[in-house]
Amino acid sequence: MAAWFQDLLGVIKPARDRTREGMILSGAGRALLAIDLLAFLNLGDPWIFMERRDDWKAKAAELEAKRSNLWNSFFTADFYPNWQGGARDALETHLRFNVNGLFAGLKKGSTGMSESMQGLNKEIVEYDFSVAALYLGSAAIFNELVSLSRTHPLGRGKLLAQALAVGGVFANTIKQFYDVVASAQGDLNKHQLNFNDLRASFFVDGDTSKPRNLSMSPQVDHEGNVRNPEFWRHSTGGVPAAPPKNVAPDPDEDWERVNGR
């Protein structure tokens, strides 16, 4: 549990005690205390979402770094500009439409999860501070009204009106919280659908017991082809065959074209 959340609970406790006392003395305590309890139990430590946000963000950055290293080492280093033939074409096809697509799909999933965790972190923080502000503000008012209800005949009526008003605000806050929960469930469902698609890229029928063969073509290092000058052919004089100016193509274009996006 984050230290600031413990501190927040420490600030809320005396204010909540005073608010609950006012609710009980108002005469409508049972219903209002149930609302108070639900609002309090919905308080949460957003630290878990911050940690998961950073974990997914780190995964996305690592995947992109590895994809970029592999992509550029093939297209802009010594290999692609200086070699021609079937071997280069087979390696390029494997890189463009197999390895690159898998990296891109994994990165997309990681990025989406990081964004969702950040959204949940934000919503939890906002809820916590809203409830804390409500308790603190209500406690100050109840403090006056409780004293007034004991000394003035109209004090009890004002105390009841204030208790009902605070209960209404708590109820609205709880509704907003569950709206956030419903929205988060929708986001997670979208992520699950995307990860199901990605799993199908790694496993036959999406069955984790049936991994796909993602290796490059065996023709690349076949003994007969290795000795075939037409299959492994060095560019004359080291002149780049393609792409022009030794610039790597955009990997995202391949990913979007293959996946129809």
The three-state DSSP-derived secondary structure of 201-240 is HHEHHHCCCCECCCCCCCCCCCHHHHCCCCCCEECHHHCC
Write out the H or E segment, with its range, that includes residue 248. Answer: none
Would you kindly state where each structural domain of the chain is located, as residue ranges? 9-258
Rounded Cα distance between 42 and 9, Å, is: 12
Q: For residue range 170-215, what is the model confidence (pLDDT) as tens digits? A: 999 999 999 999 999 999 999 999 999 889 888 988 888 998 888 8
Question: What is residue 245's predicted lDDT score, i.e. its pLDDT?
Answer: 43
Question: What is residue 239's predicted lDDT score, i.e. its pLDDT?
Answer: 40
Structure tokens at 257: 């074209």
What is the pLDDT of the chain when averaged over all its residues? 84
Rounded Cα distance between 27 and 156, Å, is: 9
Question: What is residue 254's predicted lDDT score, i.e. its pLDDT?
Answer: 57
User: Sign of the C-alpha dihedral, residues 30, 150, 165, 183?
Assistant: negative
Question: What is residue 222's predicted lDDT score, i.e. its pLDDT?
Answer: 72
User: Sign of the C-alpha dihedral, residues 175, 176, 178, 182?
Assistant: positive
Question: What is residue 256's predicted lDDT score, i.e. its pLDDT?
Answer: 56
DSSP assignment of 154-189: THHHHHHHHHHHHHHHHHHHHHHHHHHHHHHHHHHH
Rounded Cα distance between 250 and 71, Å, is: 9
Rounded Cα distance between 205 and 14, Å, is: 57
Mean pLDDT of 98-105: 88
- Residue 251 reports pLDDT greater than 70: no
Distance spanning both ends of the chain, measured CA to CA: 41
Question: What is residue 151's predicted lDDT score, i.e. its pLDDT?
Answer: 75
Rounded Cα distance between 42 and 45, Å, is: 10
- Residue 258 reports pLDDT greater than 70: no
Question: What is residue 253's predicted lDDT score, i.e. its pLDDT?
Answer: 59
Structure tokens at 45: 């430590």
Question: What is residue 257's predicted lDDT score, i.e. its pLDDT?
Answer: 52
Which range among 66-75, 77-86, 116-125 shows the weakest confidence by mean pLDDT? 77-86
Reported confidence tier of residue 81, pLDDT bands at 50, 70, 90:
confident
pLDDT cut 90: percent of the chain above it: 43
pTM: 0.76
3-class DSSP state for residue 83? strand
In this structure, what are the phi and psi dihedrals at residue 27, rounded to the nearest 5 degrees?
100, -10
Rounded Cα distance between 137 and 179, Å, is: 24
Helices (H), 27-85: 29-41, 47-75, 79-82
Type of residue found at 210: K
Do residues 22 and 145 lie in contact, with contact meaning Cβ atoms separated by under 8 Å? Answer: yes
